[in-house]
Amino acid sequence: MFYFMLMLGTIISISSYSWMGMWLGLEINLLSIVPLIGNSKNPMSSEATMKYFIVQALASTILLMSLILMSMNMNYLMYYNSLSMIFMSALFMKMGAAPFHFWFPEIMEGLTWFNSYIMLTWQKIAPMILISYSNYNINYIALIVIMSSMISGIMGMNQTNMRKILAYSSINHISWMITAMLFFENIWIYYFIIYSIITLNIIIILNKLNIFSLNQLFSSLNNYPLIKFFFSMNFMSLGGLPPFLGFLPKWLTIQILIKMKLFSLSLIMIILTLITLFFYMRIITLGVILNTNYNLTHKNSYLKQFNIIYMINFIVLMSLLLITICFNMY
């Protein structure tokens, strides 16, 4: 029931003809995900539930206040622009974009892997689409994009908790998705779908092996060399390295920025994304490539256990080649 209400809230928000209907959809979404976060065996889930509810309630209050004030001050352009920025700030807070990200990594630490996946993917849809509907200030959006790219890269470097690492990774991808959405909405859809698939692959592996920190990652993957290979490939794809699938949406986004003659923004985003790529590569090199003790007694058991994971990962890794062929055909 709660999952149905979660989806219904998002659908109401993005399909509403009025801002009040949009706000109502966001509230339905909030009230349906709070029980899902709280209904967990994780000892930190109750704390995460309270933090999430307080932050989202604050963002909803700011959102509603800005909507009311905008409707009252339509004739005063100076005030309207300021209120529009406050409105967008509330939406950025709801999705966890920097510098309104302070709650996001802390809450992720108290979630199950399935709830973490919902928070990383589904909960971003409504705020992002609503930003595209609003009268946004391009300079303010560019500032948020640059800050999200920079803060996620710097803060992610010293993390050892896998949920927090994925949270800062999500903040980085938010910046790319916002950029893609503002200039060409179809690329945002491609980006979101590809990001969701890659994140799902990583979370399935982490959930299956019950991994929550880098230390556990280093020790657990030793007995599963093929899983280790797929995990490292997915992290490279998440970082946007060619020839993996995650490279495609970033490449398309950069092409759009160059066509729009936004050379400085594209250069800044590429440089800042390299910082994020650094901590991806650190995880891969330290935990996956250098740490290669393999226990032969696990060979037969793990092959049978992870057949589905192998199949999904193989399809994802090969999909960039297939997509490239399709692009060339049309």
**Euclidean distance between CA atoms 19 and 114, whole angstroms:** 30
The tens-digit pLDDT sequence of the chain (330 residues) is 788 899 999 999 999 888 889 999 999 999 999 988 887 676 778 888 999 999 999 999 999 998 888 877 665 555 667 888 899 999 999 999 988 999 999 999 889 899 999 999 999 999 999 998 887 788 899 999 999 999 998 998 888 899 999 999 999 999 999 999 888 878 898 899 999 988 998 898 888 888 888 888 877 777 777 788 888 888 888 888 887 888 888 998 999 999 988 889 999 999 998 888 888 888 887 766 655 555 544 444 554 555 556 556 555 555 555 555 544 443
Q: Is 295 exposed, middle or buried (0-12, 13-18, 19+ CB in 10 A)?
A: exposed
Instruction: Count the domains in the chain.
Output: 1
Domain span at residue 136 reads 2-329
Q: Hey, what are 90's tokens?
A: 């509330």
pTM of the model: 0.88
